[in-house]
Structure 1
């Protein structure tokens, strides 16, 4: 990402103009006062870990802002070029308003034609900042005013990657309604579904699967959804994926299958679950075709096609895969 060609506007000048405009009004404009506070808060942006912990200027003391002056008039206009100016890390007032959860300020800025898709130095748009801090109202305002739900930041993440920690599916569903790409990948090759599985977010995994996310997708190491589930010891997600028809015998870039990951993780529940599905497949399917096939897999499948008791099958598979396995 390269720095914008135009010179960075003076933040002090923006603050001064805000204060001058506010003093001209017959009544206080809550929006302008909050915008000035947001501009001052830029110095503390990366120095704090949570919202509302910036000392005497904490946003937790703010009241819900009004979009108009107390006498019913709208606030006076402010130079849109200045409102779209950025700080040293390319964050605009819109980034701050979204991160600090000021929907009325967001509404005001987008009405003043601020660019809703400008990226900061991390490649994050205002929509991403709103989602990062779970400011749902701000996110909805941006989407309704044309924010792009498919922008990738420097890590390749899109807005859908940000919502995997949400406790409800309102915003994820809203993103999909605005054509967010459910198969978008970050720099690790993870779709939102794969990332949700890696983070063991059961509700979001169910949501993505319900909305037709590809359960057969793999990351940049060739790891399948099932591999990530058993690697992170989620029996619930592993069983859900198996019920949806995920390929139990697909192999990663190193030729390992999901059973390898289950044994390496030490989770006997996942190991037994996968073995059970492999036994069922051997009984019901004549053609056992994995996505990739290593010599080890081929040998295992030829053995499975023969007649084995459950105990002998378990012992044979266990012996084949309980060698030291490098966890990726």
Structure 2
């Protein structure tokens, strides 16, 4: 339906404002990613090619399209993220992979906080420039987040995180302290994680 709409507008030489926000602050791209997940892949490509901003955030929560993809990572997020990045590359649009929402979360942090972390999506974000050393307002880094979460597969996940960063020659600061003076090791010890 959207494709037909754009074709009609093109035929009539009518400009479509693809970054316009509705009364709740959603752009068509954000709406598609937040509420119409099943059709998002085609809609994302179409909207981006028609000029939708890949980094425009929702005014109330600060979520960008990439945040929305990471929030739903367990439902095909890596496929959608690959389409999102490829389309942005094709149209030469830069994606802010370390954009921070109003809750002080980057897309990578949202992903790391989820119990069903998608390792492929984490790999993609890191390869696309997400910082493994990003310092949040509480001084914590992605490594703090991993060591703070007592997930069933935390050891495996930490190992994967470190291996990915090694593959891309990205140094991970393992001794950095958060605002409470805690390093990732302190947090892991507190939880009695076996990888310590």
Q: Same fold (TM over 0.5)?
A: yes
202 and 184 in structure 1: CA distance in 2 versus 1, 3 angstrom threshold: same
- Counterpart residue number, 2:127: 243
What TM-score results when the alignment is normalised by the length of structure 1? 0.43
For structure 2, the residue ranges without an aligned partner over 5 or more in a row are: 89-93
Q: Distance in 2 between matches of 1:169 and 1:262?
A: 29
1:220 aligns with 2:90: no
1:202 aligns with 2:78: yes
Q: Distance in 1 between matches of 2:43 and 2:160?
A: 37
What is the alpha-carbon root mean square deviation over aligned residues? 3.6
1:151 aligns with 2:20: yes
**Could you say what secondary structure the match of 2:56 adopts?**
coil
- Counterpart residue number, 1:181: 53
For structure 1, the residue ranges without an aligned partner over 5 or more in a row are: 1-134, 302-314, 324-328
- Counterpart residue number, 1:193: 66
167 and 269 in structure 1: CA distance in 2 versus 1, 3 angstrom threshold: farther
Aligned ranges 1:30-179 → 2 under 5 Å? 135-141=1-7, 144=10, 145-164=14-33, 165-167=37-39, 169-179=41-51
The CA deviation string for residues 119-160 of structure 1, in whole angstroms up to 9 with x for no partner, is: xxxxxxxxxxxxxxxx43454256533221010123322111
Moved more, 213-222 or 201-210: 201-210
Q: Distance in 2 between matches of 1:244 and 1:288?
A: 19
- Counterpart residue number, 1:319: 189
The CA deviation string for residues 151-207 of structure 1, in whole angstroms up to 9 with x for no partner, is: 012332211112221446333222222211111000211111111111223322222
The CA deviation string for residues 44-98 of structure 1, in whole angstroms up to 9 with x for no partner, is: xxxxxxxxxxxxxxxxxxxxxxxxxxxxxxxxxxxxxxxxxxxxxxxxxxxxxxx
166 and 237 in structure 1: CA distance in 2 versus 1, 3 angstrom threshold: same
Aligned residues: 172
What TM-score results when the alignment is normalised by the length of structure 2? 0.67
**Could you say what secondary structure the match of 1:169 adopts?**
helix
**Could you say what secondary structure the match of 1:148 adopts?**
coil
Q: Which has the higher contact order (CA 8 A, sep 6+)?
A: 2
Q: Distance in 1 between matches of 2:78 and 2:163?
A: 26
Contact 2:177/2:183, CA 8 A, preserved across alignment? no
**Could you say what secondary structure the match of 2:124 adopts?**
helix
The CA deviation string for residues 90-113 of structure 1, in whole angstroms up to 9 with x for no partner, is: xxxxxxxxxxxxxxxxxxxxxxxx
